[in-house]
Amino acid sequence: MDHTFDILVIGSGAAGLALALKLAPQASVALLSKDGLSAGSTSRAQGGIAAVLAEGDSIDSHIADTLEAGAGLCDPEAVRFIAENGPRAVNFLIELGVPFSRSGGVEEGYAYHLTREGGHSHRRIIHVEDATGRAVQETLEARAREAGNITIFENHVAIDLITDRHLAKNASGENGSGAGGNQCHGAYVLDIASGGVEAFMARATVLATGGASKVYLYTTNPDGSTGDGIAMAWRAGCRVANMEFNQFHPTCLFHPDAKSFLLTEALRGEGAHLLLPDGERFMKRFDKRGELAPRDIVARAMDHEMKRLGLDCVYLDISHKNPDFIIGHFPNIYRRCREFGFDITRERVPVVPAAHYTCGGVMTDLSGRADINRLYLIGEAAHSGLHGANRMASNSLLECLVMADAAAADITRRLNSLPGNAKARAWDESRVTDSDEEVVVSHNWDEMRRFMWDYVGIVRTDKRLERAQRRVDMLAGEIHDYYRNFRVTADLLELRNLVTIADLIIRSAAARPESRGLHYNKDHPDLLPVARNTILTPEITSGEHIRPN
365 and 219: one domain?
yes
Domain boundary pick from 367, 387, 417: 417
Rama region for 202: left / alpha / beta (φ>0; ψ in -120 to 50; rest): beta
Average pLDDT on 94-99 reads 96
110 shares a domain with 183: yes
Residue 74 belongs to some domain of the structure = yes
Enumerate the β-bridge partners of residue 262: 252
Q: pLDDT of 464-516, one tens digit each?
A: 999 999 999 999 999 998 898 888 999 999 999 999 999 999 999 999 999 99
In this prediction, residues 420-445 reach a mean pLDDT of: 82
Same domain, 376 and 454: no
Residues 218 and 267 in one domain: no
pLDDT at 336: 93
Please give the sequence-ordered ranges of beta strands (E in DSSP) within 100-257, or none if there are none. 114-115, 125-126, 150-153, 156-163, 184-191, 197-207, 240-241, 246-253
Same domain for 344 and 363: no
Task: Let me know if 467 is a catalytic residue.
Answer: no
Residue among 44, 268, 295, 348 flagged as catalytic: 295
pLDDT of residue 209: 98
Q: Name the residue among 457, 387, 425, 398 with its Cα closest to residue 215.
A: 457
What percent of the chain has pLDDT above 70?
Answer: 94
CATH of residue 510: 1.20.58.100
Residue 84, CA atoms < 13 Å, CB-side half-sphere: 7
Q: Give the count of domains, the chain.
A: 3
Q: Considering the domain boundaries, does residue 543 fall inside one?
A: no
Give Dmax (Cα) for the chain: 78
Q: Are residues 73 and 185 in the same domain?
A: yes
Q: Residue 239 burial by CB count (10 A; 0-12/13-18/19+): exposed, middle or buried?
A: middle
Q: Are residues 470 and 397 in the same domain?
A: no
Domain identity same for 211 and 156: yes
Is 108 a residue whose pLDDT tops 60?
no
CA-based nearest residue to 275, from 321, 238, 318, 333: 318
CA–CA–CA angle 258, 264, 265 (5° rounding): 140
pLDDT digits (tens, 9 = 90+) for 198-248: 999 999 999 999 999 999 988 989 999 999 999 999 999 999 999 999 999
How many other C-beta atoms lie within 10 A of the C-beta of residue 332?
14
Nearest Cα to Cα of residue 437 among 405, 469, 481: 481
Are 338 and 450 part of one and the same domain? no
Question: What pLDDT score was predicted for residue 179?
Answer: 52
Sign of CA dihedral 249, 250, 253, 259: positive
Both 233 and 212 in one domain: the answer is yes
DSSP string across 254-277: --TT-TT-B--THHHHTT-EEE-T
Quick check: 544 pLDDT over 70?
Answer: no
Burial of 168 (0-12, 13-18, 19+ CB in 10 A): exposed
175 pLDDT more than 80 = no
From 308, 328, 356, the end of a domain falls on 356
Q: Which of 276, 347, 260, 354 is nearest to 310 (CA)?
A: 276
Predicted pLDDT at 260: 75
Kindly state whether residue 545 falls inside one of the protein's structural domains: no
Residue 109: predicted pLDDT = 47
**Same-domain check for residues 320 and 332:** yes
* Residue 423 belongs to some domain of the structure: no
Question: Do 366 and 352 fall within a single domain?
Answer: no
CB 383 within 8 A of CB 242: yes
The 10s digit of each residue's pLDDT in 305-336 is: 998 999 989 999 999 999 999 999 999 899 99
CA atoms of 408 and 379, how far apart (whole Å): 13
Which of residues 172 and 200 earns the better pLDDT score?
200
The mean per-residue pLDDT over the stretch 44-68 comes to 93
Lowest mean pLDDT, pick from 41-55, 398-412, 503-517:
41-55
Per-residue pLDDT averaged across 185-205, rounded?
96
Domain range holding 458?
A: 438-525
Mean pLDDT of 502-531: 97
Please give the Cα distance from 232 to 494 (Å, whole number).
11
**Residue 214: burial class (beta carbons within 10 Å; 0-12, 13-18, 19+):** buried
Roughly how many angstroms between the first and final C-alpha of the chain, as a whole number? 22
Average pLDDT, the chain: 91
pLDDT band at 110 (very low <50, low <70, confident <90, very high): low
Mean pLDDT of 408-424: 92
- The answer to whether position 149 is within a domain reads yes
